[in-house]
Structure 1
Amino acid sequence: MPGSTSQIDPHRRAFAVSEAQSLQARGARVWCVPFARNLSGVQIRGNAKTWWQKAQGDFDVSKTPTIGAVMAFRATSSMPLGHVAVVSELIDDRMLRVDHANWHRNKISLGMTVIDVSEQNDWSQVRLESNPGAFGRVYPITGFIRPGASSRS
């Protein structure tokens, strides 16, 4: 996992960032779902909380992060629509970075650090470094959706 030379497609990243900036320039809202779809190539529609279920059978899904995979957050009372982010870097077995939108309202965040705080070391619970040096609350994760067709397809 750590030390991987794989990276996010720079053309996809440039496109996702450009689309988000275009929305911001027009005063439109930047959401996590279109940003993740543009960046990852995972073509799922609907609120983030539905992505994990919709991915079943159509995409490779895993409990293990890989670069370019969409990290699917469960809906919570503070995040009722769920959230999606794209894994941009693997640091070690319990730390990675994501690129995502609307974690901070109407903004994109590139390279935000995420730590696995689950007791089983299974990426089921994470904390994000929303501000430098400060990891926020614990968020439940359903898993990781990899771009491309499912191996079951």
Structure 2
Amino acid sequence: MAGHLRRWQVVCSVFCLALGACSGTSVGSYHGPVQCAPYARQVSGINLRGRAAGWWWAARGHYQLSHRPQPGSVLVFRASSRIPDGHVSVVRRIRTRRRIEVDHANWVGGRIERGVPVEDVSPRGDWSAVRVWWAPVGSMGRRVYPTYGFILPMR
């Protein structure tokens, strides 16, 4: 069992190094979950740091901000009691005017998830409030999360 665990830790470490998306203070650490901000930075190329909720303000003057999703853009969730540091997800695909798919990390147990449905439930259709697919129950989550909008990657 110990050998199996060690092999799994090595695999996780290599994966984490390849992504540059490890948690903790040192690059390559396989202890703890993959965090959303380093993962989004690596996948999107948007070079922002700090708490996920702070990305919206940090992007001003450096990246274009929008209330419409585009593939490769980063959806920035506001800090709330459920997600005190906010959250960031990378838009993978636009499905409809009010539904997208995202890739993100640490929404469920520190894992990376790809192609996750997110739907706009804001009254004005401006993506200021969303619901996110909740994999443990296999359906859209019941909670509504406030968001700032999308940071668009440089072209």
Q: Is the 2:22–2:34 Cα contact (8 Å) retained in structure 1?
A: no
Larger radius of gyration between Structure 1 and Structure 2: 2
Other-structure match for 1:41: 45
How does 1:21-60 map onto structure 2 within 5 Å? 26-60=30-64
Identity of aligned residues (%): 41
Distance 1:144 1:21 in 2: 21
Q: Is the 2:16–2:29 Cα contact (8 Å) retained in structure 1?
A: no
Other-structure match for 2:12: none
Other-structure match for 1:142: 148
Other-structure match for 2:124: 120
Instruction: Report the residue type matching 2:19 in the other structure.
Output: E
Which runs of no fewer than 5 residues in structure 1 stay unpaired? 1-14
Q: TM-score, normalising length from structure 2?
A: 0.79
Q: Is the 1:100–1:110 Cα contact (8 Å) retained in structure 2?
A: yes
Distance 2:75 2:21 in 1: 22
Matched, 1:103 2:76: no
SS at match of 2:19: helix
SS at match of 2:130: strand
2:88 is aligned, of 84, 92, 104, to: 84
Distance 2:37 2:129 in 1: 20
SS at match of 1:148: coil
Q: Is the 1:16–1:39 Cα contact (8 Å) retained in structure 2?
A: no
Q: TM-score, normalising length from structure 1?
A: 0.80
Distance 2:85 2:139 in 1: 27
Instruction: Report the residue type matching 1:78 in the other structure.
Output: R
Q: Is the 1:31–1:102 Cα contact (8 Å) retained in structure 2?
A: yes
Distance 1:77 1:20 in 2: 28
SS at match of 1:50: helix
RMSD: 2.3
Higher relative contact order (CA 8 A, sep 6+): 1
What whole-Å deviation, never above 9, does each CA across 1:24-59 have from its counterpart, x for those lacking one? 983343100000000000000101011000001100
Distance 2:59 2:21 in 1: 28
